[in-house]
Amino acid sequence: MVAKQRKIIHIDCDCFYAAVEMRDDPNLASKPLAVGGAADRRGVIATCNYEARAYGVRSAMATGHALKLCPDLYIVKPRFDVYKAVSREIHAIFRDYTDIIEPLSLDEAFLDVTDCELFSGSATRIAADIRRRVSQTLHITVSAGVAPNKFLAKIASDWRKPDGLFVITPPEVDAFVAELAVSKLHGVGKVTAEKLARQGISTCADLRTWDKLGLVREFGSFGERLWGLARGIDDRPVQTDSRRQSVSVENTYLQDLPDLKACLEQLPELLAELEKRMARLDASYRPDKPFVKVKFHDFTQTTLEQAGAQRSLDSYQLLLSGAYARGNKPVRLLGVGVRLQDLRGRHEQLELFER
């Protein structure tokens, strides 16, 4: 029996927090608007509208820097309870089409509509109807991408933002992906993109000239993933039961931590909070690799983890010392955390093999 061709929709709200604020106060609609923390408390922009983006304001930017780019920027304090309520209403609309929904955040999700019979099973028409209903009932806009897999659906949703719909049909996949920049591939960050560029690889067509073994030798286990993505292959299912991969705590400091000693002095307080969060986990998780995150005063950041290390103060001190040495400059944010092993997934695998 031939498996059905998957039909995946990725929905992404357009500047979600800002859109809700403009909806609730129409006077904000024509102004450059950002949702985030105050500049005098070293706040960070959570999101901003497109008027603000025209000035170069972006998410995760320091509020102080955003105000330098756009002195007339109007900043609103986040109302997460309202955003969560709107997100629940959006998901209620999703459930009219499918129960196979994978939330990625409050404002985006994957939907598997392979078996949806509405609109004669047309994923394109389903996506269009979702967009219409969100706009009419909640008065915000969403962009949608439709494709045979998650990787391409997510790229498609960004193709005609804001308030857009873009479809990649199965016959179009090969040609579309061939022209795609490798920087768009799932899992390719700045470092990997630079490494690929040094190899003369800028598009997926370039990447296809490498065989799988060569990519594995050059990029380790991720090389096999690169080989598949360059051909538009992504077999990941839409996960309706998303499981945690880590637990972490982080803090942004009002004054930069000037040196390693000052950073190390913050560890006991961070670790105490981390232990409280670890205590709330159920027994289906096992703590694995400890890690630290350091964001320097210039917003460069690094993360360091170590397999087999204990979750002790000494271990975190060693990790923090190693991470700090990568920048050796004042620090604005410190984070500590633990990667998790999902024991429930392991148990399900054992049951499968024991049958």
Q: Which residues are annotated as a binding site for Mg(2+)?
A: 12, 107
Give the separation between CA 144 and CA 149, rounded to whole angstroms. Answer: 13
Radius of gyration of the chain (CA): 22
d(CA 237, CA 7): 11
Catalytic residue among 21, 51, 102, 108: 108
Torsion of CA 323, 329, 335, 340, to 10 degrees: -20
| Closest to 225 in 3D by CA, of 291, 149, 157, 293 | 149
Positive or negative CA dihedral for 127, 60, 245, 218? Answer: positive
Span between the terminal Cα atoms of the chain, in Å: 23
Contacts 24+ apart (CB under 8 A), 187-193: 187/222, 187/225, 187/229, 188/226, 192/219, 192/222
Q: 45-48 and 74-76 as β-strands: parallel, antiparallel, unpaired?
A: unpaired
Q: Which residue, among 325, 288, 327, 283, has the nearest Cα to 305 in the 3D structure?
A: 288
| Active-site residue, 117 included | no
Hey, which residues are catalytic here? 108
